[in-house]
Structure 1
Amino acid sequence: MNYNIKHYSNLVLSILVIAISLNSFAQTNAKTLTQIDSLANKMFVDMNNRDYDAILDMMHPKAFEMAPKDVLKNIFKSTFEGNDEFSVDIPKTIPDYKLSEVFESEDNLEYAFVSYDMSMKMTFHKQEFDEEAKQMMTTVMKAKGMDVSFLTNNTLSIVMKNRLTIILRDDFTEDKWVMLNYDPDSPLFYQIVPEGISETARVYRQNLMEKRSHTNN
């Protein structure tokens, strides 16, 4: 009888310890998601305000090993404000973005994905497209998850579906949350992104695209 009492007491104690640990983990996870949600919202606000310094401050520090901040700032300004070759009109809005769960790796790395659709208009100032070129561009961009329609021979309406931004922190970022866009076509992406994230991001985005395809069918 005493053995049974001791056995059940230990069992109850173990359950309580597990329950407290799980509750603590859930609270920590919820706090982290709140931080990431705030950063995601700030990212869109900074884009709408064309606050290039704030955008650069959120970028992964490895990006600055490949190009100085002033060079990247000029690229942002050229993209958002236009140049001799083209101009881009991105609506000032906060899209209906979604957050993933928080992922963790053994090397003190935490990250999450922000997925959203982005629409824009792009106008080429020195180039026009004939019907064959329009069809080719539409096909190529659709394969990359973008819907394109030509408003004129030099102006495109683009909807970028399931765009993915990675928000992460690790020892390299000195525990500061930073961001980078998922771009599997860019060699620079694989030089910046920590090992292991690229495959998780690929699978995550693929699942988003498949889920969307099934919903539309």
Structure 2
Amino acid sequence: MKLFTTLLISLLFTLSSFSQSQAEIRKHAQTYYDYMTNQNFDGVLDYMYPKVFEVASREQMKAGMEQMFSSKDMTIEFVSNNVTSVTDNKVYEGVTYAAVFYNSKMRMTFVSEKDKPEEDRKGFLDFMKATMDSQFGADNVTSDFKTMSLVVNMDSSMFAIKDPKYKDWKFIGNDDAMKQLVDTIVPEKIRTDLLKK
């Protein structure tokens, strides 16, 4: 009976630790996405896994984000970013990893097209919608001719990393643009295990 009680307490402690860890990751990930939604790029960069800055400096990353989100031709804004789920943790060589799945809605407004003739605007918006449809699926893209904008709904994932070298959880996107970097930072077995659905 004593052994059973010890095992039960141990199991409950493990489940409690896991639950607290998931809640902690979810909280930090949501803060990261709130920073992205509000275009607080310093906040976003504070949450990025620091090894990313070995490829491009923090200053370069910030300048790139500012340029991407406020071009004279097109503005990009996040309507929402919400964490949908967090996986179990996996530990490898003292570093803890988890995958964070999230939903984003992003609005692209084509500023440079607004003063063009109606037919040209319609042709441009139809072309951009078809392009986004092929990438994200027609059900995930809506167009608004009046504002010359598209809203893209997408489900994606990123990796949460708790490295003893750094404070708190840090994040790195799991997308095609970051693939090469992700492959050097997150071990293949960890990536495969975390992304299993």
Length-normalised TM-score, structure 1: 0.70
Helix, strand or coil: the match of 2:50? Answer: coil
CA shift in 2, pair 1:26/1:195, >3 Å? same
- Stretch of structure 1 that moved more, 187-196 or 123-132: 123-132
Aligned ranges for residues 58-69 of structure 1 at < 5 Å?
A: 58-69=47-58
CA-atom RMSD, angstroms? 3.1
Match of 1:90 among 68, 78, 96: 78
Percent of residue pairs identical: 17
The 1:98–1:17 alpha-carbon spacing in structure 2 relative to 1, beyond 3 Å, is: same
Query: In the alignment, which residue of structure 2 is the partner of 1:115?
Result: 101
Question: What amino acid is the match of 1:165?
Answer: M
Deviations 1:33-79, CA, capped at 9 Å, x for gaps: 22112202211332243221111111011110000101101112223
- Render the CA deviation track for 1:1-31: whole Å, top value 9, x for unaligned: xxxxxxxxxxx23212211211221221122
- Tell which deviates more after alignment, 118-127 or 37-46: 118-127
Equivalent positions of 1:178-197 (< 5 A) are 178-184=170-176, 186-196=178-188, 197=190
* Alignment correspondent of 2:136: 142
The equivalent of 1:167 in structure 2 is 160
Does the 8 A contact of 1:124 with 1:155 survive in 2?
yes
- Distance of 1:39 and 1:100 partners within structure 2: 12
2:116 aligns to what? none
Q: Do the aligned residues in 2 keep the contact of 1:182 with 1:201 (CA within 8 Å)?
A: no
Q: Which 5+ residue runs of structure 1 have no aligned equivalent? A: 1-11, 205-217
Q: Deviations over 1:86-122 (max 9, x none)?
A: 211322x553x32223221342332333323211221
- 1:138/1:149 contact within 8 Å kept: no
Query: Could you tell me how far 1:155 is from its partner in structure 2?
Result: 3.8
**Cα distance between partner residues in 2 of 1:103 and 1:195:** 14
Rg larger for: 1
Please list every run of 5 or more consecutive structure 2 residues that lacks an aligned counterpart in the other structure: 114-120
What is the number of residues matched between the two proteins? 188
| Structure with more relative contact order (C-alpha pairs < 8 Å, separation 6 or more) | 2
Query: Could you say if the C-alpha distance between residues 85 and 198 of structure 1 is closer, same or farther in structure 2, counting changes exceeding 3 Å?
Result: farther
One of 14, 24, 27 as aligned partner of 2:16 = 27
Partners of 1:185 and 1:158 in 2: CA distance: 21
Farther off after superposition, 116-125 or 14-23 = 116-125
Deviation of residue 168 (structure 1)? 1.7
Letter in 1 for 2:31: K
Distance 2:81 2:182 in 1: 28
Following superposition, the deviation at residue 183 of structure 1 comes to: 0.4
Q: TM-score, normalised by structure 2?
A: 0.76
Do the aligned partners of residues 23 and 202 (structure 1) sit closer, same or farther apart at CA in structure 2, a change above 3 Å counting? closer
